[in-house]
Amino acid sequence: MNNAARHPCHTLHLWLSVVYLSVLLSLMWLPVGGLGIRMDSFVLGIRVDHLYHAAAYLPAVALLQALFRYRLRRTWLNVMLLSLVTESVQLLLPYRGFDINDLISNLLGVSVGALAVLLFRHLHSTHAACE
């Protein structure tokens, strides 16, 4: 019996991660200017595209943590590196551009995602202790 048959949640995490990374890389590397989304507008004084960047990386830590079962710090560092790579590759693309503020937004999304994993673990362990 293979691992996926014994652990159906692992298969689900694998597929979610593949879909997530495919969408993320497509959004980061393909020309998306024709989507009609105004990226230069502001919400609460923050550019919308920076909110999109943070939101795009928010689930990364949780998905990859569940998939690879690394320590949270290692997963956080790996996703930080992924964020740096995806933004840096844009230097090589003629229709995209590197923006340090996008990178900061990516890193903020990664960090908030890691904090959410910690909070979930804490709440889950507290709830389990109460039963």
Q: What is the mean pLDDT of residues 17-32?
A: 87
For residues 105 and 50, the answer to whether their CB atoms sit within 8 Å is yes
Q: How many angstroms separate the CA atoms of 131 and 127, rounded?
A: 7
Instruction: Give the long-range contacts of residues 116-122, CB within 8 A, separation 24 or more.
Output: 116/58, 116/61, 116/62, 117/61, 117/62, 117/65, 117/72, 118/72, 120/62
pLDDT category of residue 78 using cuts at 50, 70 and 90: very high
Alpha carbons 105 and 112: distance in angstroms, whole number: 10
This model's pTM is above 0.85? no
Of the chain, the percentage scoring pLDDT greater than 90 comes to: 47
Is residue 88's pLDDT more than 90?
A: yes
**Mean pLDDT estimate for the chain:** 85
Please give the Cα distance from 120 to 114 (Å, whole number): 10
Mean pLDDT computed over 100-105 = 95
Determine contact, residues 53/88, Cβ cutoff 8 Å.
no
Domain boundaries, the chain: 3-130
